[in-house]
Amino acid sequence: MEYANQLKEYAPAWSEERVDAEVARIREVSKRNHTTEVYKFCYSAIDLTTLSCNDSEASVTEFARKAAEFYVKYPHIPNVASICIYPSFVETVGLAVDGTPMRITSVAGGFPAAQTFLEVKALEVAMAVENGADEIDIVLNVGRMLTGRYDEAASEVEAIRSEMDEELVLKVIIESGALRTPELIRKASLLSMFAGADFVKTSTGKISVAATPEAAVTMCVAIRDYYEKTGRKVGFKAAGGVRTAEDAALYYTVVEEILGKEWLTTDLFRIGASSAANNLLSAIEGTTVKYY
């Protein structure tokens, strides 16, 4: 499909100056959301993540077991939305969280660089799903975006989405820190949505620039504009560099201000995090918590 032509139906991205001004405004507004209630919601929106070269069956089992036990140990706090791991650990997590509502997210499709054959990407996604993944996080091909090969980048997303059952969630990572400009971040977000993404996600967390509020604003404006044209709601996920409770509240506020409270559900808002989990728990409990 010719996706690039669809971009002409949308206004250009906001200027960097306008984005910066909006971020400054939202930073101030976000102070109202430094509350236990917001922190609890942000915790419940976490895709609890371990994506390390040190991951092993033993370490991932222990990680998932602690997440499963959280339901009993902290019954007054809604648990994280999912556990996010490499594809080879999907079955491991499934065994550890069996009998709980925990969802399983797998990165796939040549994560984190997406620099492999489409057939390999599709097979890896299929294997993760076969092993029990409920949600798949893939990376939009950044090299193709930077060289203007938009149709090719989006067509890969379409091909992978077409291989997944409708009830499975596809999150597309645009690697905003590599795209850098509001124009490219907006195009990548729109192209991902045209191609069937259920979420657009900021970052892999594997390059020096991860999630930024500037990228979040640009992406959420694109989600809003897409919704106004199509009526289809696409979610937003901030990942990489979200560490403190205040960081989480800032992204919550970006979504609240640009997309509205109806987007503040775990079906439409996620935070990809590891260290943020303990920091949010500490803010909620009013004392230092090192659960993970």
The residue assigned the tokens 């101030």 is 28
Residue 213: asked if its preceding bond is cis (omega within 30°), the reply is no
In sequence order, which residues have a C-beta less than 8 Å from that of residue 88 and are 6 or more positions away?
none
3-state secondary structure of 84: strand
Catalytic residues: 137, 201, 237
The residue assigned the tokens 């969802």 is 103
| CA gap 86, 107 in Å, rounded | 6
The residue assigned the tokens 């925990």 is 102
Strands (E), the chain: 46-49, 82-85, 103-107, 135-139, 169-173, 199-201, 235-239, 269-273
| CA gap 111, 272 in Å, rounded | 15
DSSP 8-state assignment for residue 31 = G
3-state secondary structure of 50: coil
| CA gap 257, 285 in Å, rounded | 27
| CA gap 207, 177 in Å, rounded | 8
Per the DSSP assignment, residues forming a β-bridge with 105 are 84, 135
